[in-house]
Amino acid sequence: MRNLIRWSVPVLFVLAAVSTRAGEVSVAVAANFAVPLERIGAAFTAATGHTLKVSPGATGKFHSQIVAGAPFEVLLAADAETPRKLVAEGHAVAGSQYTYAIGKLVLWSARPGLVDDQGAVLASGAYRHLAIANPKVAPYGAAALEVLKARGLTDAVAPRLVTAESIAQAFQFVSTGNAELGFVALSQVAVPGKPAAGSWWLVPAHLYGEIRQDAVLLKAGEKNPAAAALLAYLKSAPAKDVIRSFGYGP
């Protein structure tokens, strides 16, 4: 009994301290990373007590919203340029930016067998619509246009393009059959623990510029310990394991 009392008191103090320090962090996350962040967030909360308030969307739109005063505290972007701009403009904390993942692009169809392993279907008449994320605000959409240009298909495919607001909406267009094909993130079709649906081509990295996805601490979160803790946790081994499991590069 004496030993039980000796150990129970410190444990209670630790739990009370964790509860007192636990907070919430508002995160703007690129749509392609929303599902991985769900899994990382659950482990982060279990480890720290902090919780996440997550808003997924297109990176370019987040830039506009943050400049306009949106109270996001951390940005997990789909590029490196947007965090860099936010730091230069005074909306993010200098020195806090780092790369948390390298994105990979795939051409995907919900139909099994439609997409071949060389992406030759792009030049065929086997589809009417090709979904891409808006290249003006979504890095994966810009990468998709680079692929079409590299393949010499820009003009031929233009009448078939369906532009989505984000990579999440591009995925939705394909999954619902409104577009037979779409350029989406590998993380959306290669979800750990779930069989890959349909057919897809992993686009060779040399056909588009590297999709370097950077995180940055925003000014609104500069004094929030939960925001700093999240950025630190994303560099941890458990978080990196989740990121790799979704097909992102190191």
In the chain, what are the domain boundaries?
A: 2-102+211-245, 105-202
**pLDDT at position 221, please?**
98
**pTM metric for this prediction:** 0.86
Contact by Cβ (8 Å): 216, 96: yes
More confident residue, 20 or 181: 181
Residue 40 has pLDDT above 80, yes or no: yes
- Fold of domain 2-102+211-245: D-Maltodextrin-Binding Protein; domain 2 (3.40.190)
Q: Which residues, at least 6 apart from 160, have a Cβ–Cβ distance to it below 8 Å?
A: 127, 128, 129, 130
Which amino acid, residue 123? A
Q: Are 186 and 178 in contact (CB under 8 A)?
A: no
C-alpha closest to that of 157 among 186, 138, 183, 178: 183
- For residue 182, the SS3 value is strand
Q: Which helix (H) or strand (E) holds 85?
A: helix 81-88
With H, G, I as helix, E, B as strand and everything else as coil, classify residue 194: coil
What pLDDT is stored for residue 193 in this prediction?
81
Rounded Cα distance between 35 and 123, Å, is 32
Task: Tell the CATH topology of 105-202.
Answer: D-Maltodextrin-Binding Protein; domain 2 (3.40.190)
H or E element in which residue 63 lies:
helix 59-67
Q: Each residue of 125-169: pLDDT tens digit?
A: 899 999 999 999 999 999 999 999 999 999 999 999 999 999 999
What length is written for the chain? 250
Place of tokens 């000796």: 6
Domains 2-102+211-245 and 105-202 fall in the same CATH topology: yes
